[in-house]
């Protein structure tokens, strides 16, 4: 077994296996290795960088055309999926209320759309060329760049906020990515990293049925609060706080993990319906013990 890529400890263990449920490939199994020292996890064998793009099925980002038209009709703003975006906005604005914001892996740009255009200068980077063209031609006040964080169009020391909403665990070279984010941030700029927490009760309880593993092998890494903090420190970013966010995504993940378990054990969803009421109390235990399923780590670039 290999050393931990974050803290270099030799004490790693097999945490679980996982298969690519998003693409319905049940025959291919991946191993999730976990460091016993810092809690960092990684998918083994790792994808080569040139293999990653091919692992994203067409339509992975959903129906962008439909989302655009629903937004213009005002229907999108009444949906659950929109509430997920506005709660992200509220979280960011608890720390800073305006400026230049970069959303990494912005997809169809819903989060950027939810930000107030008077107070925020909005930029997104997204790998999917078609989505970028579609969004840019529909919403001129959004500035989506096709590519990644290393795109030359992004200027160093030019952003007040950089956000990664369930994106960071998909990116190869976590250290290099954070290092680049630090350079793109202005002094005292903020970084928000939201991802599933490998240290959570739900990961431990559901193991291979944990919904966050549905996206393996695209989830290259699996973070614990401790390992994320170590990486932030290493590149010169200061961890301000770990938050239990978002509760809505947390519940979605819990629900689908329970469905996976129910279908695997009983070939039926009936046990899920019986046990579903227990899910209401579960996040309370997660919160009280600090081992929640969805983690958002908030950091800041020091002034000097
Ligand atoms: Zn480690």
Q: What is the pLDDT of residues 199-243, one digit of tens each?
A: 999 999 999 999 999 999 999 999 999 999 999 999 999 999 999
Distance, CA 207 to ligand 1 centroid (Å)? 19
Distance, CA 226 to ligand 1 centroid (Å)? 9
Query: What does the pLDDT average to over 171-195?
Result: 97
Query: What does the pLDDT average to over 88-95?
Result: 98
Whether residue 67 contacts residue 107, with contact meaning beta carbons closer than 8 Å, is answered with no
Distance, CA 93 to ligand 1 centroid (Å)? 32
| pLDDT tens figures, 32-79 | 999 999 999 999 999 999 999 888 988 888 888 888 888 888 999 999
**Residue 141: its pLDDT value, please?**
79
**Residue 60: its pLDDT value, please?**
87
| pLDDT tens figures, 95-149 | 999 999 999 999 999 999 999 999 999 999 999 999 999 999 988 878 899 999 9
- How, if at all, do strands 41-44 and 25-35 pair? antiparallel
Distance, CA 12 to ligand 1 centroid (Å)? 8
**Residue 273: its pLDDT value, please?**
97
- Distance from C-alpha of 224 to C-alpha of 46, rounded to nearest angstrom: 19
**Residue 62: its pLDDT value, please?**
87
| pLDDT tens figures, 157-180 | 999 999 999 999 999 999 999 999
Distance, CA 38 to ligand 1 centroid (Å)? 4
Distance, CA 242 to ligand 1 centroid (Å)? 18
Pseudo-torsion of CA 233, 234, 236, 241, nearest 10°?
A: -20
Residue 228, CB-side half-sphere exposure with 13 Å CA sphere: 27
Distance, CA 42 to ligand 1 centroid (Å)? 10
Distance, CA 132 to ligand 1 centroid (Å)? 36
* φ and ψ at residue 34, rounded to 5 degrees: -135, 140
| 41-44 sheet: strands from edge to edge | 12-20, 25-35, 41-44, 221-222
Query: In 3-state terms, what secondary structure has residue 141?
Result: coil
Distance, CA 34 to ligand 1 centroid (Å)? 8
Distance, CA 130 to ligand 1 centroid (Å)? 38
Q: Over the chain, what is the mean pLDDT?
A: 94
Distance, CA 40 to ligand 1 centroid (Å)? 5
Whether residue 192 contacts residue 163, with contact meaning beta carbons closer than 8 Å, is answered with yes
Distance, CA 6 to ligand 1 centroid (Å)? 5
Within 10 A of 183 (CB to CB), how many other CB atoms are there? Answer: 17
Instruction: Decide if pLDDT at 1 tops 70.
Output: no
**Residue 67: its pLDDT value, please?**
86
């Amino acid at each position: 077994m290999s050393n931990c890529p974050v803290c270099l400890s030799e004490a790693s263990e097999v945490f679980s296996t996982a298969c690519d449920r998003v693409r319905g490939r049940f025959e291919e199994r991946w191993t999730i290795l976990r460091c016993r020292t810092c809690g960092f996890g990684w998918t083994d064998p790792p994808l080569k960088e040139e293999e990653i793009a091919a692992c994203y099925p067409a339509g992975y980002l959903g129906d962008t055309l439909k989302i655009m038209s629903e937004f213009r009709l005002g229907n999108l703003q009444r949906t659950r999926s929109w509430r997920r975006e506005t709660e992200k906005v509220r979280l960011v604005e608890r720390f800073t209320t305006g400026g230049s914001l970069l959303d990494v892996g912005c997809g169809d740009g819903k989060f950027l759309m939810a930000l107030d255009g008077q107070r925020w200068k909005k930029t997104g980077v997204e790998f999917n060329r078609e989505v970028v063209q579609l969004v840019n031609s529909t919403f001129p006040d959004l500035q989506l760049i096709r590519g990644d964080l290393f795109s030359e169009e992004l200027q160093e020391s030019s952003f007040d906020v950089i956000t990664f909403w369930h994106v960071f665990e998909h990116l190869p070279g976590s250290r290099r990515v954070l290092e680049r984010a630090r350079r793109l941030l202005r002094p005292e700029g903020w970084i928000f990293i939201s991802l599933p927490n490998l240290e959570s009760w739900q990961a431990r309880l559901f193991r291979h049925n944990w919904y966050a593993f549905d996206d393996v092998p695209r989830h290259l890494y699996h973070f614990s609060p401790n390992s994320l903090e170590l990486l932030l420190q290493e590149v010169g970013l200061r961890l301000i706080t770990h938050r239990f966010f978002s509760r809505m995504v947390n519940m979605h993940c819990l629900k689908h993990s329970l469905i996976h378990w129910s279908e695997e054990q009983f070939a039926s969803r009936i046990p899920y319906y019986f046990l579903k009421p227990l899910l209401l109390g579960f996040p309370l235990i997660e919160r009280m013990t600090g081992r929640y399923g969805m983690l958002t780590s908030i950091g800041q670039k020091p002034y000097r």
